[in-house]
Amino acid sequence: MAKESVFSDAEKAAMKARAKEAREFKKLSGVEQIRIKLNELSQQEQDLAWAVHDLVISTAPELEPRTWYGMPAYYLNGKVICFFQPAGQYKVRYATFGFQEAANLDDGGFWPTGYALTELNEKTRNQIAGLVKKAVRPHLPAQG
């Protein structure tokens, strides 16, 4: 009896992309890493991903862009704060803008860490900017 894989094909591809990043992408700037990965996407998804990229960097310029499991991600002090997961990468209906544990968006005992994203309009831009600011704030030195 053949042993079934625990991981989907998309998850396996993401793990391979992460291994490639570890080997090859570390020689490139973060923006170069992102550019390479986004060039693999449809034009519509590239446009959305670059718009998110520009929004995140303008909101929190202290974040360092580079890839993470083949996705654009934004780091602070070596930890992923947020990321953009293209729909096409996992063959799902919508892209996701998500946050990792370092984002510290805690709100009681239950809060979202990922958001479906199909377009960037003024409301969505403001929501993402607010979440990114909240996610980065605990990591910055106190200003007095």
Domain ranges of the chain: 9-137
- The fraction of the chain above a pLDDT of 90, given in percent, is 66
> Distance between CA 40 and CA 120 in Å, rounded?
21
Residues 86-89: contacts with CB under 8 Å, at least 24 apart: 86/38, 86/41, 86/45, 86/49, 87/45, 88/41, 88/42, 88/45, 89/10, 89/13, 89/14, 89/41
H-type alpha helices, 24-121: 30-38, 43-59, 87-90
The pLDDT value recorded for residue 2 is: 58
Name the band, by pLDDT with cuts 50, 70 and 90, for residue 91.
Answer: confident
| Domain 9-137, architecture per CATH | Alpha-Beta Complex (3.90)
Higher pLDDT, 104 or 97: 97
Residues 6+ apart with CB under 8 A from 127: 115
Name the band, by pLDDT with cuts 50, 70 and 90, for residue 13.
Answer: confident
Q: Strand 71-76 and strand 64-68: pairing? A: antiparallel
Question: Per-residue pLDDT tens for 21-63?
Answer: 778 777 899 999 999 989 989 999 999 999 999 999 999 999 9
Residues 6+ apart with CB under 8 A from 103: 81, 82, 113, 135
From the CB of residue 115, how many other CB atoms can be counted at a distance below 10 Å? 15
Torsion of CA 105, 51, 32, 12, to 10 degrees: 60
> Distance between CA 76 and CA 106 in Å, rounded?
18
Is the full-model pTM beyond 0.85? no
